[in-house]
A and B are shown apart, each in its own frame.
Chain A
Amino acid sequence: MELIEAIILAVLAASTPLLIAATGELVTERSGVLNLGVEGMMIVGAACGFAGAWFTGSVFIGALFGIVAGMLMSLVFALMALGLAVNQVATGLALTILGIGLSGLIGAGFVGERITPAVHLYIPGLTDIPLIGRVLFGEDGFVYFSIALIVGVWWFLYRTRAGLILRACGDNHVSAHALGYPVLRIRTFAVMFGGACAGLAGAYLPLAYTPFFIPGMTAGRGWIALALVVFASWRPGRLVVGAYLFGAVTILQLHAQGWGVGIPSQFMSALPYLATVIVLVLLSRARTGGSTAPAALGTVFVPDR
């Protein structure tokens, strides 16, 4: 029983940064913009988040630093890809490279420093319930926030007029423009939201997951978040499932090794990506039902004036 609880706790912790970053990217892509710079925005968020917490002693302010840093990074992307209509794929990749370098520079002075990590909730009685107590009532703020975030995004996309307009921009920017919607402004906000989420997801790593900063500590999680959005076929509900599935595979493969299960660990590590490819194939074969990629995803839009 205790082992199961421990595994669930580890899965939640491992999934949370993926869920937060992927939620942001989902909104960005739903508006028709493909920002491949998630990894870069995350790592800058990690460096700035740690710096913020180190200077102020507050994890909350650290998280805010991370959010702002991610947002600033995404503004660079918006300026290039939306303002100057540069190729989105190239800009996104450049953003990642820039982010990795920048975070090393920002974080160089903080390597080896320590902070007090995010506190975990504790409600006497409730948190002590076996098996589910710590899972439901003993997490840190990031975990609860990530769930609120994805619910909020779902509500926004499918239950508000603004969400409908955002999706319209992603599916057909010419029509949205013809109807008088400011496509570029909407997309800029979507990109900034994506940046904020990536920054927060990055900040989660040094503020809660492994409370120290080391250059390159995101170690590819931004790319996994990108794969997740595809895996979820751009739908918030599936994104939650996907994020916890990816997290579960990561943790379970480690446990499987400890138990001596004879499946090669390399194969287990590759499973999430394999699953993404399979989902892509299934999606392209079954065109009915489930939504596929936003139709205008990754295309440049220059409004005619």
Chain B
Amino acid sequence: MRKSLRALAAGLLLAGSVSAASAADKLKVGFIYLGPIGDLGWTYQHDLGRQALVKELGDKIETTYLENVPEGPDAERAIEQLVRAGNKLIFTTSFGYMDPTLKVAKKYPNVHFEHATGYKRDKNMSTYSAKWYQGRYIQGLIAAKMSKSGVLGYIGSFPIPEVVSGINATILAAQTINPNIKVKIIWANTWFDPGKEADAAKALIDQGADVIMQHTDSPAAMQIASERGKLAFGQDSEMIKFGPKTQLTSILDTWGPYYIERVKAELAGTWKSEDTWGGLDSHMFAMAPYTNMPDDVKKIAEDAQAAITAGKLHPFKCPVIGQDGKEVECKGGANLADGQILGMNFYVKGIDDKLPGK
């Protein structure tokens, strides 16, 4: 009920009843969310971050959020509404808010903006994102250890670099355990369609996969894997509720520390426009507890996590061999450069499938 009331309140805010009158000494921080805060995935995790922020700095700040804001022109209106309501730092939490955020940022140079997962910046607009491929690498190690059939099932959303680099990191890790590991990839062509995600999981399992990994948002695939007695990884958030004997781990988006750090900077007057692409070392995401696996596999996962966090292990350590058998040019010294990972549009050797559009 409390959630519904908050949803209602957010709706009222959207309707334009935002009032700027309130304790003037508190910093106002605004958030724009793509989905409902109850989506158990992307938006839910952002809101957990906001809650962590309130817990830490609640006496100095006041937060407002608008949920279910569609990407596009509507977003511009919603962002501007937050500005008019007196918010001085505004987080826009989806890729599609990039241009609207930039537009509003140019209009209000005295307000600071933070855009998640985009690449356009301005002097009052930062970007932030996470190196999820590091988590995928750990999952690849676990998957290869736990798979009996040697076939992994991967449900992709869209063949964009973030997803492709996740698949590559997974398979590169898996190959270090089992050089002959196979991966079957199904593109759902959607981020969110529980029915279709479930169907994709069924198809993968029926074709012999016994560890399911997903880059789509709902817990449907986890549930199917659980029903069939297979194993699976969660996505974005903790999904163990949907597969207590199924979830191996999950990449958890943990935006809290970043939000706290940025708001602290804002309070101290030291906020600067930055481009943050953080990994395990900067706590932009975390791994859910390693469950449903024997201790030796758990140890492998924990060791890899520690090594990645310490910067000793890089998932894309050169040489990286492409699907065509040729070595990928190594632009980052010992590893692929960040730019190569952010724009990854090739499969590594060992993936039988063809990347859509290639």
Contacts and interface: CB of A to CB of B under 8 A. Distances in A.
Q: Do A and B bind each other?
A: yes
Interface of A: 2-3, 6-7, 10, 14, 17, 104-105, 107-109, 111-112, 114, 205, 209-212, 214-217, 219-221, 250-251, 254-255, 257-260, 262, 264-266, 269
B241 interface: yes
B235 to A, nearest CB: 13
Given A210-B220, A219-B193, A254 B200 contact: yes
27 contacts: A3-B207, A14-B199, A107-B38, A108-B4, A108-B7, A108-B38, A109-B1, A111-B39, A111-B40, A114-B241, A205-B195, A210-B197, A210-B223, A212-B194, A212-B219, A215-B36, A217-B194, A219-B193, A220-B193, A251-B203, A255-B206, A257-B184, A257-B185, A257-B186, A264-B356, A265-B187, A265-B356
Contact of B7 (A105, A211, A255, A264): A105
B196 interface: yes
B68 interface: yes
A220 to B, nearest CB: 8
B189 A214 contact: no
Nearest to A110: B38
Contacts of A214: 38-40, 192, 194, 218
Q: Which 8 residue pairs spanning A and B have beta carbons closest together?
A: A111-B38, A219-B193, A6-B206, A254-B203, A210-B194, A210-B220, A257-B186, A108-B3
Given A257-B184, A258-B204, 13 more contacts: A105-B8, A112-B40, A210-B223, A212-B194, A215-B36, A215-B38, A217-B218, A219-B192, A221-B195, A255-B203, A255-B206, A255-B207, A258-B185
Pick the most buried of A215, A258, A264, A265: most chain B CB atoms within 10 A of its CB.
A258
Main secondary structure of the interface of B (DSSP, over half): mixed
A107 B35 CA distance: 14
Contacts of A109: 1, 3-4
Interface residues of B, number: 42
B353 interface: yes
Contacts, number: 117
Interface in B95-148: none
Given A108-B36, A112-B40, A219-B193, A3 B206 contact: yes
A211 to B, nearest CB: 7
A260 B194 contact: no
Contact of A260 (B38, B220, B353): B353
Contacts of B198: 209-210
Nearest to B202: A10
B180 interface: no
Interface string B153-197: 100000000000000000000000000000011110110111111
A255 B38 CA distance: 31
Interface string B295-329: 00000000000000000000000000000000000
Given A219-B190, A221-B195, A257-B186, A262 B354 contact: yes
A265 B223 contact: no
B202 A210 contact: no
A104 B7 contact: yes
Nearest to A218: B195
A239 B198 CA distance: 24
Contact of A211 (B36, B197, B199, B223): B223
A250 B199 contact: yes
Given A10-B203, A254-B200, A257-B186, A209 B195 contact: yes
A105 B193 CA distance: 19
Interface of B: 1, 3-4, 7-8, 35-36, 38-40, 68, 153, 184-187, 189-190, 192-200, 202-204, 206-207, 218-220, 223, 241-242, 352-354, 356
A216 B199 CA distance: 17
Nearest to B195: A209
B194 A205 contact: yes
A4 to B, nearest CB: 10
Contact of A258 (B4, B186, B193): B186
A180 B36 CA distance: 50
B322 to A, nearest CB: 18
Contacts of A257: 184-187, 203, 353
B69 to A, nearest CB: 13
Contacts of B194: 205, 209-210, 212, 214, 217, 219
Contacts of A2: 206
Contacts of B38: 107-108, 111-112, 214-215
Contacts of B189: 265-266, 269
Contacts of B36: 104, 108, 111, 215
A20 to B, nearest CB: 14
Nearest to B357: A264
Contacts of A104: 7, 36, 68
Nearest to B193: A219
A165 B202 CA distance: 45
A259 B153 CA distance: 12
Nearest to B352: A260
A265 B142 CA distance: 29
Contacts of A258: 153, 184-186, 203-204, 207
Nearest to A2: B206
B268 to A, nearest CB: 37
A215 B39 contact: yes
A3 B353 CA distance: 20
Contacts of A14: 195, 199
Contacts of A10: 199, 202-203, 206
Nearest to B351: A260
A211 B220 CA distance: 8
Nearest to A215: B36
B199 A254 contact: yes
B164 to A, nearest CB: 15
A50 to B, nearest CB: 12
Nearest to A252: B203
A7 B1 CA distance: 41
Nearest to B219: A212
Contacts of B196: 219, 250, 254
